[in-house]
Amino acid sequence: MLPVLIVGGSLVGLSASVFLGRLGVSHMVAERRAATSEHPRGRGNNMRTMELFRTAGLEPDIREAASALSKNHGILQTDRLSGGETSRWLSARLTGGAPEKGLCSTVRCACSQNDLEPVLLNHARRLGGDVRFGTELVSFTEDRDGVTCELRDRESGLTYTRRTAYLLAADGPRSPVRERLGIGQSGAGDLFHNVSVTFRSKLLREVVNDQRFLVCYLNGTEGDGVLLPVDNEEKWVFHIPWFPERGQTLESFTDTRITDHIRAAAGVRDLDVEVTGRAPWHAADRVADSYREGRVFLIGDSAHEMPPTGAFGSNTGIQDAHNLAWKITAVLRGWAGEGLLDTYENERRPVALATIARAIEQAAREEHPGYAAAQATAQSTDLMTVSLGYRYVSTAVSGADTEAPTIPEDLRLEGDPGTRAPHMTVVHDGETRSTVDLYERSFVLLSGTAEGPWPYAAKAAATRLGVPLVSYRVGAGPEFDLDTTPADDDGGGADWAAVHGVTARGAVLVRPDGMVAWRSTDLPTDPELELTHVLEGLLSR
């Protein structure tokens, strides 16, 4: 039996393949398209997503693929590009920089979907993923022991059956899997619509001049829309507001109409415009009422839709996949009970709801063209807080603050159970790295004093339960596994115990996904017994 079948091989499906491959789980990806995306979209990869890709070994390849936009920063708002009456920067930087590194192991990255998907595909296949393009799911039937899936090769028309333990639906906002399961959706529904146009223009480079933006909102009465550079030379994308509720059809967006619209936005009547493609997209507020039905799970857009502002959509989906990958691995390998899989929805659905609220707020604040929103409120939409500050409350976390908001107003990463474990720069085996990079294939227990019972307790609990658990002593000097001696502006030289909210005799247990599972502020009477009981609860044993 195939352990996991992923339906959908776009950003989220391919990310799920990478994460499962890193954990050594055999799987298959069925993608109905013939190849990876050709349309440049979904370019914003936030700090948390880049941390996950960094730990998985993808970061160098992603940054190379994103090199064309490496010097582009921020959001510009104006009425037209040439001679505009109003112009302001809504955000000075969106791609990251040194200030983030005190909290993160890396920085965010602008890499368009058409550039990112090939990187994910190469790594997925290198890790053993069986990725099949031109393959669609025809039907599936679940029983107590697995899911029987009928697949069709779209080129030959031949169908075949695969049996899988778990089915992951990364099949987009109109998810056929979700519809067949009869899972409803909540939310405001469609918010606004755009037609995304790819085009070539050599003269537009001169009009843009030295304004190296990632996104430009144009709010002129005739040329409103959103301009995005692809290569900073002659390839561009323009999102034109579309109002189907007013009777506008896609067919009405002819090359002539699109050209006139872009020329009005640029403020140049004879601008050279060669339309190379167009695709509709919809900004919406929808969340699936359930993320799981037996052995079938929804991830990415099949589980939630949100406006593109803040670039939260694909990031939330990629983080869904990461959350679920280690849990499925744990159940498949027998070191966790089935109940662990229920925590996927318990943790990720609240994050989607809170993130959508912030994305809608961002759309109103930025006056996104085509969105007739109510006035923005004072609610924070700080990208760092939304990307890194979310917290989980579930049985897979012990001691979480059940009263705290899913996304706080202010970013605090202080080792609280249910939050992303703090980033610290340490030296391990002579290599300088982030503690965040330690969390992937096992639980990790951090403790302090060079001579103490925690490592022995961890080894005994891991042996008794058959759970992968690595223990590190953190401190200054050669007697520690993780040396915190480097002092800089990137989290080095800090007191690990203070950073994680414990005393020098305490310990912190971190899950394979980098979230704090539990912490003991001091040394309990029986560390081994305490740690064993905690793990049994976390893993639904």
Give the amino acid at 283: A
Q: Residue 373: what pLDDT?
A: 64
β-pairing, 425-428 vs 431-434, is antiparallel
Contacts of 429 (CB under 8 A, 6+ apart): none
Q: Residue 76: what pLDDT?
A: 85
Q: What is the pTM of this model?
A: 0.93
64 φ, ψ (degrees, to nearest 5): -65, -40
Question: What is the DSSP track for 98-115?
Answer: GGGGGT-SS--EE--HHH
The span from the CA of 178 to the CA of 89, in Å, is: 40
Nearest-Å Rg of the Cα atoms of the chain is: 24
Task: Report the run of H or E that residue 130 belongs to, with start and end.
Answer: strand 130-133
Q: Residue 211: what pLDDT?
A: 83
Angle made by CA atoms 43, 49, 55, in degrees to the nearest 5:
130
Total Cβ atoms within 10 A of residue 354: 18
Report yes or no: 134 and 155 within 8 Å, Cβ to Cβ: yes
Report yes or no: 306 and 42 within 8 Å, Cβ to Cβ: no
Q: Is 410 exposed, middle or buried (0-12, 13-18, 19+ CB in 10 A)?
A: exposed
Per-residue pLDDT of the chain (541 residues), as tens digits, is 999 999 999 999 999 999 999 999 999 999 999 999 887 777 889 999 999 999 999 999 999 999 988 888 888 888 888 866 566 666 544 444 444 657 888 988 989 899 999 999 999 999 999 999 999 999 999 999 999 999 999 999 999 999 999 999 999 999 999 999 999 999 999 998 999 999 999 999 999 988 888 889 888 778 899 999 998 899 999 999 999 989 999 999 999 999 999 999 999 999 999 999 998 988 899 999 999 999 999 999 999 999 887 788 899 999 999 999 999 999 999 999 999 999 999 999 999 999 999 888 887 776 677 776 655 554 556 788 999 999 999 999 999 999 999 999 889 899 999 999 999 999 998 899 999 999 999 999 999 988 889 999 999 999 999 999 999 999 988 889 999 866 555 555 579 999 999 999 999 999 999 999 999 999 999 999 999 999 999 999 9
Scan for tokens 């280690």, then name that residue.
326
Encoded tokens for 193: 């619509």
Q: Is 126 helix (H, G, I), strand (E, B) or coil?
A: helix
Give the amino acid at 523: L
Angle made by CA atoms 62, 28, 168, in degrees to the nearest 5:
85
The CATH number of 2-71+111-186+287-368 is which of 3.30.450.40, 3.50.50.60, 2.102.10.10, 1.10.600.10?
3.50.50.60
Report yes or no: 344 and 324 within 8 Å, Cβ to Cβ: yes
The span from the CA of 527 to the CA of 459, in Å, is: 11
Q: Is 438 exposed, middle or buried (0-12, 13-18, 19+ CB in 10 A)?
A: buried
Q: Which CATH architecture has domain 413-538?
A: 3-Layer(aba) Sandwich (3.40)
Q: Residue 95: what pLDDT?
A: 45
What is the 3-state secondary structure of 386-451? HHHCCCCCCCCCCCCCCCCCCCCCCCCCCCCCCCECCCCEEEECCEEEEHHHHCCCCEEEEECCCC
The span from the CA of 25 to the CA of 471, in Å, is: 24
Q: Which CATH architecture has domain 187-284?
A: 2-Layer Sandwich (3.30)
- Sketch the domain layout of the chain as residue ranges: 2-71+111-186+287-368, 187-284, 413-538
Report yes or no: 201 and 236 within 8 Å, Cβ to Cβ: yes
